[in-house]
Structure 1
Amino acid sequence: MESNVGFAHYWAQGDAVSHTVAYLLLLMSIASWFYILSKAWAAWRIRRGSNALEKFWQAPTLGDAVAAMQNVDSELIYTPMAERASEAADIFNRQQSTPSLNAATAPDELITRTLRREINRVSARLERGLTLLASVGSTAPFVGLFGTVWGIYHALAAVSASGTVQIDKVAGPVGEALIMTALGLVVAIPAVLAYNAFTRINRVVLAELDGFAHDLHAYLTTGERVGGVRK
């Protein structure tokens, strides 16, 4: 077997198709790692501010609660919901110089719509990039496999053109072609693991946000939290 068998030799012997496959895998890897690192940083900041809800309900007034939450909610997951819901409730506590659809809506319905809109906003933000990670995880192995098949095809074509079949002449090119399958797996595995991890983190965060929305709605419409704890 030739001593120069390896990825460099495979790259030198490759054509435009094999080079395109390699560049595509590189691009998929860069994109997936960008989202993996950025979302991991955001998830860490969200977990660091997980006591934002506790700070909110410990404050003496609604204004103090929002201010206390802003100090720990660095990713602005919970704070905008409290601010928008408070603004929606204030519509009915002050004189409106001009009529509007919001002013004509029942307070309970307006607050509900505001909370739902904020949950949708956070959900869309948390899910940003997950589609790309799922796509990379599911397609990268097949892209690498395509590169392998293409490389094996050219290796066998070269052997056929030479008119002689020797194991050392076949094993080297075939082994080089298999590198593309390995690269596909290297790209796909981190994307799949990250997708599963971020999906679970998002599910926990959205569950906390939904519970906070339920408590906040109860407080703004009745003056009490769920369970009868008056603030």
Structure 2
Amino acid sequence: MIAMSPILNAYFQADLFGKFIFFSLFILSIVSWVILLHKLYLAKKLKLLNSSFEKKVQTNNENILSININSNSTYPYLNIYKSLKDKTLEILNKNRFFINEKKNVYMSSKDIELIDSHLDVEILKQTKLLEKNLFILPTVVTLGPFLGLLGTVWGILITFNTLQTQSLLNNNTSILSGLSMALSTTVVGLMVAIPALIAYNYLKNWIKNFRNDMLHFSHGLITTLEIQYRSVDVK
């Protein structure tokens, strides 16, 4: 609290435009922290859900399409599996028209490749959902220091204007408040930008790793599906 008192004093002594700059920096800070905390909560939640569903897939490995899913639930691994199941059943139903119904239905290598491509599209969709609102953080990183610089310039202008128009001895308070604002907005701008930069880099790395996990899960599903349904001699 003691360390923040100079900044608080600078805020209360600032003019209307100076207060607007401080308030804008405060809003940017709140927004960046909300995004970070929301993404961290989402990361923890998705890790638990995906881990649970992956275990369910492993226990039903002998019949990959037999897993019961809740249509109301939605999270990356479940959506990937839904995409696989829907596309696979669609292809199997089409293949029934070209073979004797008494025989088992299989898929060609082209069918497997089609499903794999379908899952890649789903993974891209899930990745974009994870990246939602993430663009705000680099915006805060860029805008924070510039708002701080604007406050610095404005504070110096106030100081020079006071020196030109009024007596130095009678206006020490105005001069000091201008200098205080100039320095404080720079500090606050950096205090806003630095955590946002760290958060952005951390979240980008997390999303990259999460995408790799989705690809690994997808490849596992495709491999299991290929073992169960691919026929070498599809006619």
TM-score by length of 2: 0.75
Cα drift, residue 50 of structure 1: 4.5
Question: SS in structure 1 opposite 2:75?
Answer: coil
- Normalising by structure 1, report the TM-score: 0.76
Partner of 2:233: none
Deviation (angstroms), 1:164: 3.2
Give me the identity figure in percent. Answer: 24
| Residue 160 of structure 1 pairs with residue 160 of structure 2 | no
- Equivalent residue number for residue 177 of structure 1: 182
Partner SS state of residue 130, structure 1? coil
2:196 partner letter: A
| Distance of 1:92 and 1:7 partners within structure 2 | 66
What residue number does 1:227 align with? none
Cα distance in 2 for partners of 1:165, 1:107 equals: 86
Deviations 1:109-154 (A, max 9, x none): 4302210111111110111122111111222112112112111111
Q: 1:1-231 to 2 correspondence within 5 Å? A: 6-10=10-14, 14-16=15-17, 18-51=18-51, 52-60=53-61, 61-65=63-67, 67=69, 76-95=75-94, 106-164=110-168, 168=172, 170-223=175-228
1:45 and 1:78 mapped to 2: Cα distance? 12
Deviation at 1:166, TM superposition (A): 8.9
Greater displacement, 157-166 / 145-154: 157-166
SS at match of 1:196: helix
How big is the shift at 1:85? 0.9
Rounded Cα–Cα distance in structure 1 between residues aligned with 2:217 and 2:150: 48
Deviation for aligned residue 1:177: 2.5
Match of 2:232 in 1: none
Query: Residues of 2 paired with 1:175 and 1:38: CA distance?
Result: 34
Q: Distance in 2 between matches of 1:38 and 1:148?
A: 32
Computed over aligned residues only, the root mean square deviation of the Cα atoms, in angstroms, reads 3.1
List runs of 5+ in structure 1 lacking aligned partners.
97-105, 225-231
